Amino acid sequence: MSTPTPEPDRPAPGRPSGPARKRWTAALNGFMPVISAALALGLIVGLLMVSAAPGGHEHGALASSEEGAAAPAGGGASLPGKGKKVTLDFEEGDMYIKPNKVTVPAGADVTVNVVNKGSQAHTLSLLGKTNKQLEPGKSETQHWGVLTESTQAWCVIPGHKDAGMLVEITVTGGESTKAAGTTAAAAAGAGTAGDTANAKIDPAAKPAAGWKPFDPTAPVNDGKDVHEATFTVTEKEIEVAPGVKQTRWTYNGTAPGPTLRGKVGDTFRIKLVNKGSMGHSIDFHASKVAPNVQMRTIKPGETLVYEFTAQFSGIFTYHCGSDPMIYHMGNGMHGALIVDPPDLPKVDKELVLIQSELYLGPQGKPGDLKKMQAGEYDAVVFNGYHNQYVHAPIKVKPGDRVRVWVDDGGPNENIAFHVVGTIFDTVWKEGAYTLRRDNKEKGGAQVLDLQPTQGGFVEFTLPDAGTYPFLGHRMKNMAAGGLGVFQVG
């Protein structure tokens, strides 16, 4: 701290000049250390009073308190919270924690009360150290102990932190606050969009010997009025491109899940069994039911029976609806259910193609939520695997009439489905024919355009021997893996 020097010809009011001024300045400089110490002590006391007062956190902690507030001796100036006990209250909901920023003095002994007001289980873990899941409506107390550096706490259930369940904890007065905050932020930021640790697809790579493609054959309508199935949820490592594996969240072990089929008026009774490590659910777009009842999230080990009557025809998406929904869908939890239109004619070959995107996380891990939220996909694929029907073309006999059911599973990209070398003479989109075979206008269609979770079908013939590519005619999606081949003859 320095003392301003007045101009020589205009002494500061109230100050002596000449020799007397020199003596006054020397005396003032002698008192400066005492004044500086007093100011520092005043700042520290003020900080402690703000931190200890209920609701006094500048970032909105819900409550705090102190006990035994004797001023720390010795090194107390560097740890202003030494000897203090601070209590923080947090509320968790589905994809939020509030407050999401708190401030405590360095050296304070911190206890946390947390209540879960969401609809599914959550955790609040300091620096991601795993603790038990807190069920909806429940509360708990955690002892975090003495904090000397800025840090973070978050929900460790996959995807929840990146969806917003993160608390920034600023520790004031510690010598290493800045460095600690930087370290914590770096640790919490692992797996963000563009992370170099994420797996990469080599477009030139080929599947290993023994690889088998996802069977695109459409299921046969068995003619029953009641269709019963069990969907078991598991989280398993699956290859999504040559040499690239991800932990996919699956119905019955596949991503996409199994395709179901029936007709208008049929009953579908699905038993959902959760054998995963977190809450999951299912939402059939073909149903009209109360979402909070049949589409509710169930915990690991639980089961749910989802029953509905199909009232409308078409190809409908089903998917997991648990938060964050985009993360569950983006990790493979979607599929299709076909409800045949009345008098649907027979064809020679019937297929199901489900388009979706891959947002790669590290090898063997789940996908990257931040990339999903940003729409920064690594691949656009049919039936879950990069260019799989280029590696294993779909065989068709010359002249066969082909029907392809197309479902856009998303979660983000649309599709303009096109087959190179032919024209669609029949098109069904979202509940109605937009083009019928042998129409009087002699009209034909070149694409079936669908937004995420829309569906339809096209019919066509491939009369000559050869290879006929099929793709989504959004070129960057085709170049990113959304390509296949019909092999004729």
Give me the percent of the chain exceeding a pLDDT of 70: 79
Beta bridge mates, 247: 237
pLDDT mean over 346-363: 97
Decide if pLDDT at 68 tops 80: no
Of 53 and 386, the one with more pLDDT = 386
Cα 230 off chain centre by: 26
Q: Which tokens hold the place of 57?
A: 């956190």
3-state secondary structure of 370: helix
DSSP 242-275: TTEEEEEEEETTBSS-PPEEEETT-EEEEEEEE-
d(CA 314, CA 338): 6
- Show me where the domains of the chain are located: 85-172, 226-488
State the pairing for strand pair 85-93/109-116. Answer: parallel
3-state secondary structure of 122: strand
Known binding-site residues for Cu cation equal: 280, 285, 319-320, 328, 333, 473
Of 188 and 239, the one with more pLDDT = 239
d(CA 128, CA 156): 6
Known binding-site residues equal: 280, 285, 319-320, 328, 333, 473
Report residue 196's pLDDT band, with 50, 70 and 90 as the boundaries: low
Beta bridge mates, 483: 471
Nearest 5 degrees, angle CA 140-CA 106-CA 166?
45
- Could you report the per-residue pLDDT of 132-163, keeping only the tens digit for each? 888 889 999 999 999 999 999 998 888 888 87
Residue 178: what pLDDT?
A: 42
pLDDT mean over 434-463: 95
- Could you report the per-residue pLDDT of 21-41, keeping only the tens digit for each? 444 344 434 434 433 443 333
Window from 10-19, 57-66, 180-189, 412-421 with minimum mean pLDDT: 57-66
Decide if pLDDT at 5 tops 60: no
Q: Which of 48, 293, 289 is nearest to 173 (CA)?
A: 48
d(CA 430, CA 284): 15
Cα 459 off chain centre by: 36
Q: Looking at domain 85-172, which CATH architecture does it have?
A: Sandwich (2.60)
Residue 52: what pLDDT?
A: 35
Fold of 226-488: Immunoglobulin-like (2.60.40)
DSSP-H helix ranges across 53-113: none
What is the b/e burial string over 392-430, where b = at least 16 CB atoms within 10 angstroms of the residue's CB? bbbebeeebbbbbbbbbbbbbbebebbbeebebbbbbbe
DSSP 401-412: EEEEEEEEEESS
Q: Which of 102-111, 185-194, 351-360 has the highest mean pLDDT?
A: 351-360
